[in-house]
Amino acid sequence: MAEGKPPTAEKLEVQPSLEANSIGFLDAVSIGLNATSPAYSLAAVLGPIVVLVGVAAPGVMIASFIPMLLIASAFYFLNRVDPDCGTTFSWVTRAMGPWFGWMGGWAIAMTGVLVVGSLASVAVRFLLLMFGQQDMANNDTLVMALSVLLILVMTWICVVGTDLSGRIQTVLNFAQIAALIVFCVVAITKGLSGQGLPGAEAPSLSWFNPFGQGAAALTAGLLLGVFAYWGWESAVNLNEETKDSDSTPGRAAIVSTVILLATYVGTAVAVLVLVGPTFLTDNADQEEMVFALIAQEALGGWGWIVLLAVAMSAIASTQTTIIPASRTALSMARRQAIPGYFGRISLRYRTPAVSTWWVAGIAIVWYVVVSFISENALYDSLSALSLLIAFYYSLTGFACAIYYRKLLFKSAKGFLLIGLGPVVGAILLLWLLILSGIEMSNPENSYGGVSWFGLGPPLVIGIFLFAVGVVFMVSSRIAATAFWKERPSVVDPDLVPTSEGGDES
């Protein structure tokens, strides 16, 4: 420590800041993509989407992209004026007050808890299958033990350093995207040359019409499509550790969504050309494994390439899904919305070690307990994700327009990109949230078809998580910390570049 430094500065250094400028643009894009887990998401939702909408699957993937892009615009412009790693929590608090902000932060944290264990489980199973270990992949106890070990390893990497995380994510991202490109090229080539399975479809522009199978089918497909795109904002959760923190993370988030669009639509076309909707309908009970069957049809003995892609995708997402939850907890602790203990930063690694390990620990407990209840309960907890995702995305869209409200009419660009676009995206997601709740209320729509308290298990899980959040929020309010004295505000015009909302825009 330099001599002559005042005592107050010494105290500040005891609690260091996050490591700035440790993430570049490409690493940020990779983190955004891997948090979405494109290969895993395709394995999880492409089959069900095709079952629901048939050859209109590419159109549904395009339709699902629209609200994501609109909300990505909100993330971009809010990050421009408040590059806080708490993202939705921080922005919604500033725009709409502490009550909405707290619940937005809670929703983000709970998404990580719900999905991390399932991601690790998929990664382990696909790796075992890639090495031909079918029996080991079917051993639930072994898979659970290896999954917990994987979560611990990926959490350790998150704690050791953001720059290491970024490099690992770039490698994993390249591996899965390259594998998906190989699959798409081979599948389309085989399909167009007449080597597809009986029932394979000839390409048609009608495939890109999301309304091809009717509004009801489109709505159900959109619910799955939104899950497939979820996660791209992880790049923004690292904004305090990214170079040019006010612009790079937002651009990375938008670029991530566009790359996902191309990947999802291209893969949907390849699957329809090679095997057609009938194959997917007949194998609907295979869950994620249907993608392995399609890979076998496309690549034969090289089908392990797609198995590797799904495994790498799930491993990468196991790590990146922890990031938003841990950074949100850090931001909430710094603002005194939760106990300051969760805001402790590692002196050695300059990462939020305490919140990161806590997120991983709670996620492991959730995964193990729910798995012991039943495998269907684990899938039902994943279904509940759509409620949390739609909730905090829609909050962010509304918050963007509210926070910028005094600048919206200064330019057409500001009105469209900062006001109208995010609000439309928020309304679409709120609509999907309501529809999800209605669908999940029917026990027959759950994986096990069982009833919990007269409702479907996914809705019960969602209600339970929100209720627990309300209990903790009220407890925090009773503590009467400085956070609860914050009031809604508007953006400071001096923080807004003139090209993005000022008089010259």
Supply the pLDDT for residue 16.
65
Strand partners, 455: 452
Averaged confidence pLDDT in the chain = 85
Supply the pLDDT for residue 19.
66
Cα gap 90→92, rounded to integer Å: 6
DSSP symbol at 197:
P
Supply the pLDDT for residue 38.
84
Supply the pLDDT for residue 498.
57
481, exposed or middle or buried, with CB in 10 Å at 0-12, 13-18, 19+? middle
Given a cut of 70, the residues of the chain with pLDDT beneath it are: 1-22, 161-166, 169, 286-288, 497-505
What pLDDT, in 10s, does the model give residues 231-268? 888 888 878 878 888 888 888 888 888 888 998 999 99
Please, are residues 137 and 102 in contact by the beta-carbon 8 Å criterion?
A: no
Supply the pLDDT for residue 477.
94
Q: What structural domains does the chain harbor?
A: 26-500 (1.20.1740.10)
| Per-residue tokens: 334 | 């710094």
DSSP symbol at 419:
I
Residue 154 is which amino acid?
M
Supply the pLDDT for residue 165.
61
What pLDDT, in 10s, does the model give residues 396-426? 999 999 999 999 998 898 899 999 999 999 9
Strand partners, 452: 455
Residue whose C-alpha is closest to residue 95's, from 487, 495, 428, 409: 487
Supply the pLDDT for residue 13.
40
Supply the pLDDT for residue 11.
39
What pLDDT, in 10s, does the model give residues 8-37? 333 334 456 666 666 788 878 877 887 787
